[in-house]
Amino acid sequence: MTTMLADLKHLQGNSVRARVQRFGGNLAGMIMPNIAAFIAWGLITALFIPTGWLPNAKLALLVSPMITYLLPILIGYTGGRLVHGQRGAVVGAIATVGVVVGTDVPMFLGAMIIGPLTAFLLKLVDAYLVPRIRTGFEMLVNNFSAGILGGAMALGGLLGVGPVVQWLTRIAGNGVHSLVNSGVLPLVSIIVEPAKVLFLNNAINHGVLSPLAVAESSKAGKSILFMIETNPGPGLGILTAYLLFGPRTLRPTVPGAMIIHFLGGIHEIYFPYVLMKPRLILAAIAGGAAGVGTAVITKAGLVATPSPGSIFAYFAVTPKGGYFGVIAAIVVAFGVAFVVGAALLGFGRAAAAEPEAAAASAEVPPSAAEIVPGQRISRLVVACDAGMGSSVMLASQMRKRLEPYGVTVEHKSVNEIPMDAQLVLTHADLASRARGRVPDAVVVEFQSFMGDPAFDRVEAMVRDGAEVRA
How far apart CA 76 and CA 83 sit, in angstroms, is: 11
- How many CB atoms are located within 10 Å of the residue 120 CB? 17
Residues 16-28: pLDDT tens digits? 666 666 666 677 7
How far apart CA 103 and CA 375 sit, in angstroms, is: 58
Closest CA to 313 of 200, 389, 376, 238: 389
Q: Are strands 466-468 and 371-373 parallel, antiparallel or unpaired?
A: antiparallel
Structure-model confidence comparison of residues 22 and 446, the more confident one: 446
Residue 153: its pLDDT value, please?
95
Residue 161: its pLDDT value, please?
86
How far apart CA 297 and CA 408 sit, in angstroms, is: 50
Q: How many CA atoms lie within 13 A of 457 on its CB side?
A: 24
Whether 301 has a pLDDT exceeding 70, the answer reads yes
Q: Which of 113-117, 193-197, 446-450 has the highest mean pLDDT?
A: 113-117
Whether 97 has a pLDDT exceeding 90, the answer reads yes
Q: What is the value of pTM for the model shown? A: 0.71
Coil, helix or strand at residue 443: strand
DSSP state of 325: H
**Whether the bond into 306 is cis, omega within 30 of 0:** no
CB–CB of 467/378 below 8 Å? no
Whole-number CA gyration radius for the chain: 24
The amino acid at residue 411 is H
Per 3-state DSSP, what percentage of the chain is helix, strand, and coil (rounded to 5)? 70, 5, 25
CB–CB of 169/175 below 8 Å? no
CB–CB of 232/267 below 8 Å? yes
Backbone phi, psi, residue 135, to 5°: -55, 135
Q: Is 101 exposed, middle or buried (0-12, 13-18, 19+ CB in 10 A)?
A: middle
CB–CB of 108/96 below 8 Å? no
Would you place residue 115 in the very low, low, confident or very high pLDDT band (cuts 50, 70, 90)? very high
Residue 209: its pLDDT value, please?
83
Share of the chain above pLDDT 70, in %: 86
Q: What's the Cα-to-Cα distance from 215 to each of 68, 152, 206, 419, rounded to whole Å?
A: 10, 27, 13, 38
Q: What H or E segment, with its residue span, contains residue 2?
A: helix 2-8
430: Cα separation from own chain's centroid: 13
Identify the structural domains of the chain with CATH numbers, from first to last: 2-182 (no CATH), 206-361 (no CATH), 371-468 (3.40.50.2300)
How far apart CA 450 and CA 260 sit, in angstroms, is: 10
- Indicate which residue of 384, 386, 409, 430 is catalytic: 384
Coil, helix or strand at residue 134: coil
The amino acid at residue 127 is A
Residues 162-207: pLDDT tens digits? 888 888 777 776 776 677 777 788 998 998 888 888 777 777 877 7
Closest CA to 320 of 5, 82, 45: 45
38 catalytic, yes or no?
A: no
Whether 235 has a pLDDT exceeding 90, the answer reads yes
Backbone phi, psi, residue 72, to 5°: -60, -40
How far apart CA 235 and CA 241 sit, in angstroms, is: 10
- How many CB atoms are located within 10 Å of the residue 103 CB? 18
DSSP state of 196: I
Coil, helix or strand at residue 302: strand
Closest CA to 115 of 89, 135, 141: 89
Mean pLDDT of 380-407: 82
How far apart CA 241 and CA 251 sit, in angstroms, is: 10
157: Cα separation from own chain's centroid: 27
